[in-house]
Structure 1
Amino acid sequence: MGLAAVTGIYTMKDLPVEQTGYCMTWGQQHYRTFDGKIFRFQGDCSYVLAEDTDHFFTVHLHNEKNCKGKGCKRSLSVYVGDLLIQLKSDPKDGSPGAFVDDKRLPLPSAMSGVLIQRVADFVVVRDPESELYVKWDGLESIFIRVGENQEKRTQGLCGTYDENHQNDFTKKDGKVVSHVVEFAESWAVGDCGNTKINSYCSKATEHDRCTLAKALQGCKYIMETKCKMVVNPAPYFEACKEDVCFSDDDDLVCNSMSAYFRECARFGVIVDWRRKDRCAINCPDNLCYDVCGSSCPKTCYDTSYNCENNHCIEGCHCPEGTYLHNGTCVARQDCPCQYAKQEYSPGSKLRLDCNRCVCARGRWVCTKNVCDSVCKAVGSHFTTFDGKHFDFEGRCSYVLARTEGMQDIAFEVKLINTCTGFECDRSLEVTVNGETVHVSHAGKVEIKGKEAILPYHNYFYAMEKVTTNFYKVTINSGLTVLFDGKDRIYIRAKPTLCSRMRGMCGNFNAQTTDDFWTPNGDLAANANDFGDEW
């Protein structure tokens, strides 16, 4: 691998196809492209790590300036459509998190279809639309996966994903080069300092030789495991040596070892490589270290996320039988509930419409009463009993709701338009067992063709004016109609009328798919055809 010390490139051969489509970078200087090319450069500015050629998604990498080899950090800016998610350390306490508009997001979160969650020690961003998957360990390691739909459509330091590492050093201007520095600097964002590829491992002095010996001793485990038959360990071994020589600290073996054994785990080779004296992890609170924990942790809210191809993730996980919530593990009975983006403790109660709910084991347990439903006709905007919204401009008379089949009380609610030129006045007509109530646009009320004195009631219905604006018809079978005398009609139906009505208000059967049912017994194709039929 002597050539790598000069060129900064560790790999010279194509990878198997199944090992492509996955880019990663670790330490402050090591990179692996989507097609498996592993290279090194030291750059202390921001770079386009990966983006699609349509610029729907872009991932910017921000290296720490003046990094001396140990304790350095990185951050990311992930652009998906119009959304910008920053993965960085919280300036308040130094903990890694996801931020939008400089506000820290609670995890898990979903914004504009993009899913953000914490899995073990990683913050994960996933966009189902573009199949972009970004994983950051909160320090220096970053992993990016794209779907096959992005083949030949990626660019940046992660290279062109086309299963050919020969063109991975494609510059921003489209030119393919062979030198790492020329390639890397073309993807710099903004002003950039010096970019170097020099090797830090040397035999020039006695101190250099001691450091190199320490690097060889500390890194040799990479070459000795069962995984070497599946994933070539040599590039990671060289990267490991460079980290130790750069920092003169044998603790830096952990970056390259972690990158290598994570790659092994992706291909089903699990190596329990950490020891008390080698890269040990101390888990906080009640989390436990697992070399192969689930990439889909169980959370109190059970938000559905895509597993990492069913692969495991190394790190701190919740013990079996507990659930992740706000960075700690809790028993199921201690899980809170969510409603309207607010959190409620176990045992909390809510009233939702006509039902009562109680928070139990992270779920709302509610009564299952069928509630009243309201149909609305406001100007040209309609909402059916089942919640289907549509617009309809009509100049005739239309049946909003009427009884279907044999019923003790038969009714029909009509919207009547009286038009002159382009202007239409709206009135309401309600017929109950053959008796008709008419409320004109001017507020005149007629019952059985004669002007009525309100309130009025009989055995089947009641008519009254309930406010300065609204008239109300109450039908004893469970229907209430409100009309403001202008252009607003609200019809409330009790559950006893479920599936017993037809009209522009729909069927009231908890299904929107058949709300455009016509008097002829078929489904209208659109709102205009539906309205015309009634």
Structure 2
Amino acid sequence: MNNTFSTCEAGSWTCTTRLCPKACSLESGAHFNTFDSRSYTFHGVCSYYLAVGDDWSVEVLLKSCPTGLVDRTCLDSIHLKTPMRSLEFKSNGKIISSQMGVSLPYISDSVKVFRKSSMFIQVDTSYGMMMLVQNSPTMQVYIGLIDNVMFRETGLCGNFNGIASDDFMSSQGLVEGTAAAFANSWKVNPDCDDVGNVIRDPCQLNTAVAKQAELRCAILRNSTAFFKDCHYLVDPYSYYSRCKQDACSCPSGQDCITETFLSYALACASKGLIFENWRKATDSQLVECPNGEVYSYNANACNQTCRSLSSVDLACQESGLVAEGCQCAEGLFANDEGMCVPAASCPCYVNGDTLKPGEKVTIADIPCYCREGQLLCSESKKEECTSPMVYVDCITSTYGKACESSCAIQTPLCLGRQCQPGCICPEGLINNGNGDCVKKEECPCQHNGLSYTPGDTIKVDCNKCKCYSGSWNCTELQCDSTCKMYGDGHYTTFDGQRFQFDGNCEYVVAQDFCVSDPKVGTFQIITENIPCGSMSTCSKSIRFLLQNKEIKLADGKYEIHDVSGSASKGSEEVFTVHTVGLYLIVKASNGIKLIWDRRTSLFIIAPPDKENQLCGLCGKYNFDMSDDFTMRDRSLSASALHFGNSWKASDTCSDVTDEASPCEMNPYRKAWSERKCSILKTDVFEACHSQVDHLPFYEACVRDSCACNIGGDCECFCTSVAAYAEACTSAGQCVAWRTPDLCPVFCDYYNSPDSCTWHYRPCGIVNTKTCGNPAGIDLGNFPHLEGCYPKCPAKTPYLDEHMMTCVSMDKCSCEMGSQIVPANGTVVNRDTCETW
């Protein structure tokens, strides 16, 4: 709860509110967390818009790290730009403005910069943005915004509208499917190459480091370890996973595990929980403070430098962004040499250190000199341009090539850019991103890494989008939303929040009994895992209660009952059941649909009229991913474990206290699991990699395959791969991945000896005519599903879903309760002796 502080009194929460900034961060050169709390990883190699406001922008330059076990990116510099000035923060700690060094504290009309500690620099602005720049041991950045700037921001930090599901909004106005496609759209320089999704797992390249990392990183997630008190506030499992990955790709001489501990400690501190002495408690490297400084876990060195004594107008603000590091002890001030001295020993400053008037300096081989506080440079050698490009200089042009328009960003934010001479497209033409000049109406559109020409139409969910002059124009239909679960407790909520929770009980996954009155509601969906090994799940039992009926899905079959428990034959008006491919489809009268693979995969599709009415493990369905971990008592948790435990259907079950790590408990299975699951990284799924991020599915596949330690190896593996294939299909990318040797589906089972009507389709279309639906099954805007599909001949055009055969209408079977009666067959009612 970012802006609230809660107290539990008599079983309910009492909350107070204060103005706190909502933060975006870029840590370890690749780990992003948006203003709306969506986390992702992107290894970019270019300059990108991190955040853009009405009249300011923050750009970050990412480069390949100089050394490391595998490819890894590092933050090289941060550029804050406003209409009046530009400030560049370098990874070596220097600050540049107008190509000249800046001494701290720095004060302007709208920006104030001072050193918060030995590790952090704080930037305060007059327009509601504040920033922390970490320089040691690596460069990281944290941006805070207060709520009165909501709905104005764009860039890699998202759009700050309280809806996490649309944070991957590209510069062309379309939500992208992967972090790479999203981030590539926000390049400052269109000439940079696009960066794809990272395929390699760094821990596979160094198993010795990986094993040590698992042991040391475990302190983040263990429920009895040092950070346990923060688990309710900040989810530790994402930091645990990141800790291992960063340790395996860490540049030589760098302690990346301690960096992750620092990030988690700062995240906890931003929620109000300061961990004093966490470095000593986690056996991390201690920071030795020089020159009489002391180390603080909640540092604020504002007005503690000698320069601050001369800058009496500097008003240090409480940013709400927590930092730590070395600072001078109370009563001492830092001079230019970094020594802490008493105020009596401090010199005085006027306008800081500058070049003397007329003093010359050479920058990038261009002679410059100082005059009237500005650095004036001679014109560089004119560049030869390829037609139709034209050359612009910095005498007749304000920005030159530094603010060139492109098809991706047609109106770039030029605030604070240093003029750069060079070749640009002439007036009336625009750079298409490939170095060619085109008319604006000829600009292509980008989506999920693919390029589309003007006039092309694509489908995004239930809406159609058409490319016009480099931007997408989309219909605004309200679409259904899907909650997904598969394997050993892998969930994706209606709003897109992924989490892992593998409980040993019945749990409420979705219901509309969500207000304080427990009687106000109409339906409830409950699931239970059915284990098949010491750590694995082979199937699910699902109960869907609506009105006075209940449908139960278990053991690959279904039964419909009255709530009293007696078998019911008159339930068609409440539940309609179909077999489509490998799946069983349940269509309820309230608009909810279930798609079940008869094992562990379950998809719950909710129509738009259920928005803001749902609760359970599938979340609230309000398009805000950040509050999906709302527990049964309506409080918000950061922990998937606490959230999941709160939705137990029975209080007799014990809570889950820790997330299992099957590959650590069954290390002999890890190599096999990684080898099998690597199919998700190969060319088989290459066309889908730009549409759907494969990494979460790969990690889930390895985990589940390690868990199947008592049989069911292929069951767990095949379910995980099928889950990624289904996600690809939903994104419009059909992948035919099954083979006779890899998770085969035997459709010949349904074929009679003299016919071959059943065939496997990786992405079948629901258009089969059935006995129950002679005109064809109508499921609305329904996804394509893999499985066995019949091609019924003209003489027997209808599929009998009970018998799974093609028949004429007069040969259709009947259903009475749970009993299937063939055509012309009879059944006797034992209670009334009636013959039907």
Contact 2:549–2:574, Cα closer than 8 Å, also in 1: no
Give the drift of 1:309.
1.4
Rate the CA distance shift 1:45–1:142 in 2: closer, same or farther, 3 A: same
Contact 1:20–1:35, Cα closer than 8 Å, also in 2: no
> What aligned pairs does 1:44-443 form with structure 2 within 5 A after superposition?
44-52=504-512, 53=514, 54-64=520-530, 67-69=533-535, 72-89=538-555, 95-101=556-562, 110-128=571-589, 130-190=590-650, 191-195=652-656, 196-202=658-664, 208=667, 210-224=668-682, 225=685, 226-248=687-709, 250-251=713-714, 252-283=716-747, 284-286=749-751, 287-302=758-773, 305-307=777-779, 309-321=781-793, 322-325=797-800, 326-332=802-808, 335-336=811-812, 345=823
Cα RMSD for the two superposed structures: 3.6
Work out the CA distance in 1 between the residues paired with 2:806 and 2:521: 41
> What aligned pairs does 1:456-467 form with structure 2 within 5 A after superposition?
none
Give the drift of 1:240.
0.5
Give the drift of 1:104.
6.9
Contact 2:705–2:713, Cα closer than 8 Å, also in 1: yes
Counterpart residue identity of residue 694, structure 2: P
2:663 aligned counterpart, secondary structure: coil
Rate the CA distance shift 1:175–1:222 in 2: closer, same or farther, 3 A: same
Work out the CA distance in 1 between the residues paired with 2:547 and 2:643: 26
Deviations 1:161-193 (A, max 9, x none): 122211111101111101111000000011213
Contact 2:530–2:540, Cα closer than 8 Å, also in 1: yes
Contact 2:531–2:539, Cα closer than 8 Å, also in 1: no
Deviations 1:405-446 (A, max 9, x none): xxxxxxxxxxxxxxxxxxxxxxxxxxxxxxxxxxxxxxxxxx
Rate the CA distance shift 1:308–1:216 in 2: closer, same or farther, 3 A: farther
Give the drift of 1:273.
1.0
Deviations 1:208-256 (A, max 9, x none): 1x42222221112223311121112111111111001112465222111
Counterpart residue identity of residue 614, structure 2: T
Task: Tell me what 1:499 maps to.
Answer: none
Rate the CA distance shift 1:301–1:21 in 2: closer, same or farther, 3 A: closer
Rate the CA distance shift 1:62–1:162 in 2: closer, same or farther, 3 A: same
Give the drift of 1:67.
4.6
Contact 1:240–1:256, Cα closer than 8 Å, also in 2: yes
- How many residues are treated as equivalent by the alignment? 334
Counterpart residue identity of residue 525, structure 2: V
Task: Tell me what 2:247 maps to.
Answer: none
Work out the CA distance in 1 between the residues paired with 2:676 and 2:727: 19
Contact 2:532–2:538, Cα closer than 8 Å, also in 1: no
Give the structure with the larger strand fraction.
1
Deviations 1:24-75 (A, max 9, x none): 1111321111111221122111000111235212100112257535572211
Q: Percent identity at matched positions?
A: 26
Give the drift of 1:300.
2.2
Contact 1:51–1:154, Cα closer than 8 Å, also in 2: yes
1:26 and 2:476 equivalent? no
1:158 aligned counterpart, secondary structure: coil
Please say which structure displays the higher CA radius of gyration: 1
Counterpart residue identity of residue 323, structure 1: Y
Contact 1:20–1:163, Cα closer than 8 Å, also in 2: no
Give the drift of 1:201.
2.3
TM-score norm. by structure 2 comes to 0.36
2:781 aligned counterpart, secondary structure: coil
Rate the CA distance shift 1:48–1:271 in 2: closer, same or farther, 3 A: same
1:74 aligned counterpart, secondary structure: strand
Give the drift of 1:147.
0.9
2:742 aligned counterpart, secondary structure: coil
Contact 2:762–2:786, Cα closer than 8 Å, also in 1: yes
Counterpart residue identity of residue 773, structure 2: D
Rate the CA distance shift 1:65–1:265 in 2: closer, same or farther, 3 A: closer
Work out the CA distance in 1 between the residues paired with 2:653 and 2:588: 30
Work out the CA distance in 2 between the residues paired with 1:72 and 1:347: 36
Q: Which runs of 5+ in 1 are unaligned?
A: 90-94, 349-534
Task: Tell me what 2:254 maps to.
Answer: none
Work out the CA distance in 2 between the residues paired with 1:134 and 1:333: 28
Work out the CA distance in 2 between the residues paired with 1:340 and 1:75: 23
Rate the CA distance shift 1:111–1:345 in 2: closer, same or farther, 3 A: closer
Rate the CA distance shift 1:9–1:147 in 2: closer, same or farther, 3 A: farther
Rate the CA distance shift 1:328–1:66 in 2: closer, same or farther, 3 A: closer
Rate the CA distance shift 1:154–1:279 in 2: closer, same or farther, 3 A: same
**Greater shift after overlay, 317-326 or 299-308?**
299-308
Work out the CA distance in 2 between the residues paired with 1:243 and 1:85: 28
Give the drift of 1:82.
2.2
Give the drift of 1:199.
1.9
Work out the CA distance in 2 between the residues paired with 1:337 and 1:244: 41
1:42 aligned counterpart, secondary structure: coil
Work out the CA distance in 1 between the residues paired with 2:674 and 2:587: 38
2:750 aligned counterpart, secondary structure: coil
Give the drift of 1:154.
1.2
Work out the CA distance in 1 between the residues paired with 2:816 and 2:493: 42
Give the drift of 1:157.
0.5
Contact 2:488–2:537, Cα closer than 8 Å, also in 1: no
Counterpart residue identity of residue 317, structure 1: Y
Q: Which runs of 5+ in 2 are unaligned?
A: 1-40, 42-213, 222-235, 243-447, 449-459, 463-478, 515-519, 752-757, 827-836
Rate the CA distance shift 1:145–1:254 in 2: closer, same or farther, 3 A: same
1:160 aligned counterpart, secondary structure: coil
1:43 aligned counterpart, secondary structure: coil
